Chains A and B, each alone.
Chain A
Amino acid sequence: MKQLLKLIVNGEDHQIYAEPASTLQSVLRNELHLTGTKRGCSTGYCGACTVLLDGKAVKSCLILAFQTEGKDICTVEGLAENGELGTLQKAFVDGFAVQCGFCTPGMLMSAKALLNENPHPSEEDVKEAIIGNLCRCTGYKKIVESIQEAARQ
């Protein structure tokens, strides 16, 4: 039976009815239509569904939406600054870090979490932070460079 779910996503309050076992990912995409968060493997391997919970990266396919009530949820849509692409997003575009683009939202969110904790990461720190994000175009080099470039800005 559906129950009332109260979420704070990208600074906005939302009230929706959802099944208790709904994942955060399905609620974000299917109920809130925030389709930037991708559905990849749904088993926690690929990281395409990565979002931030209170500033920390998590995989939204592995978390029940009801566990995230009261937490500050940030999706890739929340990275925009005044309707324009945010610093990280611009760095990805300028650095050619996007190939097919499927992993990009997840990569951006893992990068955001890293920069929240560590504003000046080394190359190793960046690689460590995106271990949980698969890019099957294997464009990792440009992704790592772009995250470092965003950190410099």
Chain B
Amino acid sequence: MKPVTLEEACKLLPTLNREGKLLSGGQSLVPLLQQRLISPKYLIDLKGISEIDYIRENSDSLSIGAITTERAIETSTLIKSRFPLLAEAAHSIGAIQIRNWGTIGGNLAHADPDGDFGPALWALGAKVIITSINGQREIPLDKFFMNYFESAIESDEILSEVVIPYPPQRSGGIYHKEVIRAGGRGISSMAVMVTLNKNDEVKQAKIVLGCQSRVPIRAVQTEKLAVGRNLNANMKDLEEVIATEADPSVDVLGSIEYKAHLVKVIVRHALPEAIKRAKAT
């Protein structure tokens, strides 16, 4: 089924008796279909709904339509200059062929614990707009991921937009993912966003870990510890704490110990880099 407006798609969903599956770029869904891991009776193709394909500047935020491709986000000069962290997350997704067709809405709705946009958008304080025949509701990213491949979107709802607030002055962020081979699955990833005070010390930090066992994890204790640090501060204690906040699972890419160690290494580089970027703004 190929609705051409959001309204049409919303009206269609409740008539399908929960046997429909929304298809956007399908970069995760199509392999699941091919391997018969899922076999929905109906597929609703959202790619033809041009009204949700945009990157738009508002007075205090940026809005991205759900079917905007990952490649469009990665290459947007606006996003590269205002939200380098988001452009980096987009760039981290698969290979260019994937990003040319995969969309931000599909990426988020799939709720893959290895997803790149989840940690990045959470660190940026973003929210998603969910549309259904009953109207619209907002879900902030910290309430979005419920469980392994499970989001807070209900079956008759469509993720239609992502809204990202402009960060305060003297803010900087970074997204970093460790992989075995470029384009492959992440072993460990992290989004860091900091805001500095006038002494170039961290006033506020937001650190979200990706590639975790079920959902992205906000490293709240580490964030608290980061407050007051400057570029020259010793971060050793912080590394120990963040390793305890991580919850990776063992798989072919590495043991739990190895992945926890990687989190330490990433924060060692990512936090100073975020501070540097905040200073440079």
Chain B stretch 1-44: residues in CB contact (< 8 A) with chain A: 2, 23, 26-27, 30-31, 33-35, 43
CB-defined contacts of B2 to chain A, threshold 8 Å: 66
* A59 contact from B23, B47, B97, Cβ within 8 A: B97
Q: Which of A47, A62, A66 contacts B27 (CB 8 A)?
A: A62
Q: Categorize the interface residue count of chain B.
A: 20 to 34
A53-91 CB mask vs B (1 if < 8 Å, else 0) is 100111101111011000000000000000000000000
Q: Which of A21, A23, A42, A57 contacts B97 (CB 8 A)?
A: A57
**Interface hub of B43, B47, B95 (most chain A Cβ within 10 A):** B95
A42 touches B27 (CB 8 A): no
A121 at the interface (CB under 8 A from B): no
Whether A110 sits at the interface, judged by CB under 8 Å, is yes
Residue of B nearest to A26 (CB): B34
- Is B26's CB under 8 angstroms from A47's CB? no
Q: Please state if B30 and A132 are interface contacts (CB–CB under 8 Å).
A: no
Chain B contact residues, CB within 8 Å of chain A: 2, 23, 26-27, 30-31, 33-35, 43, 45, 47, 71, 94-98, 100-101, 182-184
Can you name 7 A-B pairs with beta carbons within 8 Å? Answer: A21-B33, A44-B98, A45-B184, A53-B101, A61-B34, A110-B96, A128-B96
Known: A58-B101, A62-B101. 14 other contacts (CB 8 A): A20-B43, A21-B43, A43-B35, A44-B27, A44-B97, A47-B95, A58-B100, A61-B30, A62-B31, A64-B30, A64-B45, A67-B23, A67-B26, A129-B96
Give me the interface of A with B, judged by CB distance under 8 Å.
20-21, 23, 42-45, 47, 50, 53, 56-59, 61-64, 66-67, 110, 113, 128-129, 131-133
